[in-house]
Amino acid sequence: MILPPWLQATASGLFCAPAGCHIDPRRPVARAVVSHAHADHARPGCGRYLATPETARLLRLRLGEAIPVQELAWGRTLVLNGVRLSFHPSGHIRGAAQVRLEHAGEVWVVTGDVKTASDPTCLPYEPVRGHGLVLESTFALPIFRWPDPAAVFADLLAWWRKNAEEDRPSLLFAYALGKSQRILASLPPDAGPVFLHGALEAPTAVYREDGVRLSAARRLAATEAPENLRGALILAPPAASESPAMRRLAAAGRAFASGWMQIRGFRRRRALEAGFVLSDHADWPGLFAVIRQSGAERVFLVHGFAEELARTLRAAGLAAEASAAEHEREEDEAPP
């Protein structure tokens, strides 16, 4: 086992026994340290939560205003029974943190979901030095190499314009928390009318209240007149792709924004007109940058293609191990 004795991979998730807390637990526990507000990291029913202030706001939205959540500001240290704990930006979505744990003369960094590419809606990924790293490996295959986000947004805009010239709506599936707001923050303000599926409204409002500059957009009403949607961009979560409201938009061009769009044939198999390679996770070179910049010599891999990356790291002389926990699909990259 590559993890130190004070950090264990349990059925409930990563457990720091001396601090008495789980990090991103998979089931209800007494004390949860939550890296970010996506559902596969932030479960309901925990006794207490610890999160960054931005994540705390999103947690209250998702899990209820009354949840007992303690906020810890970026870079501030909380000492839990001899364990020093602090949050540092992971660049994944708003509020997303890496958790730095220091105990018994050793530093371990739990990255949570991490992204090294630029994103105007959150603090940029900050390298954190440590002896060991618990790293997500969602897209840990050499085929995953993200294009420059600016080029992706230019393509997206061109696709929308082309549809608008044909008087068709553009229906873009993007995850409701994080991806959608990243898209809204990256569109030019005068690009045209933007509508939001109802599921996007609340998280988008939290981003706006936090002062993130996002394109104007309004909720897509069930009664929206079709002529209002001609030439509009409609953002909707992938899970809503077969809903009656989305089916009504039969004439719309359909596209999906995700790292999975880099896989050949994916777009065609899902009958999508366009695909935009836009991920909130690190690509293959990004994962190596995170490992290198951490200085870690021991890497414990969770999610995704962990075995593949573990083999590559061992071949490069690092100690690396893939988590034996059953893999859960990344909620924030789930296809339509």
Sign of the C-alpha dihedral, residues 325, 331, 332, 336?
positive
Alpha helices in 40-139 (DSSP H): 53-63
The yes or no reply on residue 54 touching Zn ion (CB under 5 A) is: no
How far apart are the C-alpha atoms of 117 and 285, rounded to whole Å? Answer: 11
Interface pattern 299-328 for Zn ion (x via CB under 5 A): ------------------------------
Which residue, 87, 142, 135, 185, is CA-closest to 321? 135
Task: For Zn ion, give the closer residue by CB, 102 or 113.
Answer: 113
Which residue, 61, 23, 75, 67, is CA-closest to 45? 67
Compute the residue count for the chain: 336
Shortest Cβ distance from residue 221 to Zn ion (Å)?
30
Shortest Cβ distance from residue 111 to Zn ion (Å)?
10
Pick out residues in 12-51 that bind Zn ion (CB under 5 A). 38, 40
Choosing from 119, 283, 321, 332, the residue that interacts with Zn ion (CB under 5 A) is: 332
What is the distance, to the nearest Å, from the Cα of residue 56 to the centroid of all Cα atoms in its chain? 16
Shortest Cβ distance from residue 152 to Zn ion (Å)?
19
Task: For Zn ion, give the closer residue by CB, 171 or 235.
Answer: 235
Stretch of 78-86, 103-111, 112-120, 257-265 contacting Zn ion, by CB under 5 A: 112-120
Sheet with 218-219: strands ordered across: 218-219, 194-196, 233-236, 170-173, 253-257, 274-276
Shortest Cβ distance from residue 97 to Zn ion (Å)?
11
What does the binding site for Zn ion look like in residue numbers (CB under 5 A)? 38, 40, 113, 330, 332
